[in-house]
Amino acid sequence: MSTLPQTRLASHYVVNLPEPDDFDFWREAARALVQCGVAPEHIAWVEPGGSGDLFAAAAAPGEQPLPLPTADARPVRASKRFVSLARNAILHSDPERFGLLYRLLWRLQATPRIMEDKADPDVRRAEELDKAVRRDSHKMHAFVRFRLVEAGDEESETREHYVAWFEPEHHILRANAGFFMRRFANMRWSILTPRGSLHWDGATMSEGPPAQRSDAPGGDPMEELWRGYYASIFNPARLKVGAMLKEMPRKYWKDMPEAALIPGLVAGAQKRESAMVEKGALEFEERPDTLAAIDKAIRACRKCPIGQLDNHAVMGEGPQDAALMIVGEQPGDQEDQAGRPFVGPAGQLLDAHLEKAGIDRRAAYVTNAVKHFKYVQRGKRRLHQNPGAKEIDTCRWWIESERAIVGPKLVLAMGASAARSLLGKTVSISRVRGAPIALEDGSELWVTAHPSYLLRLEGAAREEQTRLFDADLAAVRERLAELAG
């Protein structure tokens, strides 16, 4: 183990973190300290620019390295849940976060299941930090707006350069570099923030120092496009000023060209809503913010003809903080009767292949693109019917609501209906399977075939499709492990 640049003061240690978002550094130091039996109250964690800490302020130049664990020191225990939470929570701007996470790691050694105790104040605080960081990332994905600062020049092969200004609340910039790199892969862009900057030239990413708002431009022709787009998607029937401000706080407005339209659109909304109601086009109202509220709402949903049949809404099931969300098409006959997803033949096949891939279904949130069973009656039997594109699109509201609450890192869509529900357009499974697709909230979508499709095949075709299905699940399993750190 390398020597870390830390200070020892009497029985206290000061750990100077090189960067405020350096999880790996924190983890290495925390591991060594746990192995050496240094209790949380004897450590001060100091991030760059962060003073105000008693021990740190008193730190003398005659620094001593941290104690090194002996070769036979006990390995440090840390559950996957803790590691993934800590990796994200460490990006929070709360200066207490390093100490909090160390305390949790320390306590985990004696109480391995502590993360399951939702009433524990340390667990609760860590979850709050994690949630705030996710929310900040979500805002960044949604509200970063690039402006053209330099035209391209074919002769000198210079690309157009776009610059965005954003003010994150937490240290999320570096962690979100991959998202913007994938989404704007072919553009040359810079994201400037008061915490640092990112620069992508179409091939490499580099980091730069903190910037000021005046370093970023304020207006270009793209803004007209954004405004046009926003006006076209604006739905007056969904307008709830309070909810809108929560989702898109005013502080982001100044960097968003379309925000200039908001006052006018709000003023005109009342009139337009009445016109829509008259046309019978009124849409869903406020988004439910708990799974129980979604469950209740889908039972009453009659927005498409499927909800009018003699069936029951089937809600998704699984942990509310699942890293993996599995999405099928719609409940079948057995699921409709049991009120649970994937319990019939397709569910049994799915369970077997999940197990083979090493994916624990109980740790996943399992749901469907469409919440009601669509069928035609033939005598006593109810025969499955595929939902239409319009029905899937109408039901998207619910899956989006489930995703907003569960916040999975990875979504596995099985079959074309599920893929459409996640992407908003029809895709070919064979073209998109096997690689992640970035979703707008920073999670990843993986697409595979539906298990019912395998059930319908025979012979060599079934063998081949089963092999592909297993390969997709294995890739998902691997990716989940990577995401969990």
Binding site for ligand URA (CB under 6 A): 328-332, 335, 341-342, 344, 346-347, 368, 452
Decide whether 69 or 344 has the Cβ nearer to ligand URA: 344
Bridge partner residues of 325 (DSSP): 365, 411
CA–CA separation, 20 and 23 (whole Å): 8
CA–CA separation, 331 and 328 (whole Å): 8
Q: What contacts 132, CB < 8 A, 6 or more positions away?
A: 92, 169, 170
CB of 436 to ligand URA, least distance (A): 22
Residue nearest to ligand URA (CB): 328
- Number of other residues whose CB lies within 10 A of the CB of residue 168: 22
CB of 465 to ligand URA, least distance (A): 16
Decide whether 58 or 455 has the Cβ nearer to ligand URA: 455
Helix, strand, coil shares of the chain as percentages rounded to 5?
A: 50, 15, 40
Longest dimension (CA), the chain: 88
Decide whether 174 or 396 has the Cβ nearer to ligand URA: 396
Torsion of CA 354, 357, 360, 361, to 10 degrees: -20
DSSP 363-402: GSEEEESSSS--EEEETTEEEE-PPPHHHHHHHHHHHHHH
Decide whether 197 or 368 has the Cβ nearer to ligand URA: 368
The answer to whether 325 and 403 have CB atoms below 8 angstroms apart is yes
CB of 428 to ligand URA, least distance (A): 19
- Sign of the alpha-carbon torsion through 82, 30, 173, 447: negative
CB of 453 to ligand URA, least distance (A): 10
Decide whether 288 or 331 has the Cβ nearer to ligand URA: 331
CB of 388 to ligand URA, least distance (A): 15
CB of 315 to ligand URA, least distance (A): 11
Decide whether 34 or 392 has the Cβ nearer to ligand URA: 392
Decide whether 47 or 317 has the Cβ nearer to ligand URA: 317
CA–CA separation, 405 and 140 (whole Å): 18
Place of tokens 């130049």: 61
Decide whether 4 or 423 has the Cβ nearer to ligand URA: 423
Lookup: tokens for 322: 């699942």
Decide whether 107 or 462 has the Cβ nearer to ligand URA: 462
The answer to whether 311 and 373 have CB atoms below 8 angstroms apart is yes
Decide whether 101 or 314 has the Cβ nearer to ligand URA: 314
CB of 373 to ligand URA, least distance (A): 9
Lookup: tokens for 67: 């104690």
CB of 404 to ligand URA, least distance (A): 21
CB of 342 to ligand URA, least distance (A): 4
Strand bridging mode 444-448 / 437-438:
antiparallel
Bridge partner residues of 410 (DSSP): 324, 444
CB of 409 to ligand URA, least distance (A): 22
Q: Where are the alpha helices (DSSP H) in 59-154?
A: 80-89, 97-110, 121-143
